[in-house]
Amino acid sequence: MSQQIFLATTNPAKIHRLSSLFNQLEVDFLTPQDLPGEIEGVEEDGMSHLAVACGKAAGWSRKTSAITIATDGGVLIPVLGKNWESYR
């Protein structure tokens, strides 16, 4: 069996992008849809994108024995200026 990497997202675009980053490695990719039972997400809470990504990786890793990768990114909405916090 090859190494498994768990992509901690249900977003199809993120799954595609993350798997393409590692496409030269001989790994099997798993996603929440590959877990047995009902898909229950993890809390996305933190004061920065890094904190949210770390929390997601830790939360999802408790549901699988595979190496787990998570990301979090914000959307920039310039018109909102300082009234917009992308991690909220």
Q: What is the pLDDT of residue 39?
A: 64
Does residue 60 sit in helix, strand or coil? Answer: helix
Tens of pLDDT, residue by residue over 45-55, are 788 888 889 99
C-beta of residue 60 within 8 angstroms of C-beta of residue 70: yes
Element (H, E) at 58: helix 49-61
Q: Is the pLDDT score of 2 beyond 90? A: no
Residue that wins the pLDDT comparison between 85 and 22: 22
Residue that wins the pLDDT comparison between 1 and 37: 37
Tens of pLDDT, residue by residue over 9-60, are 988 999 999 999 888 888 999 999 998 876 676 777 788 888 889 999 998 9
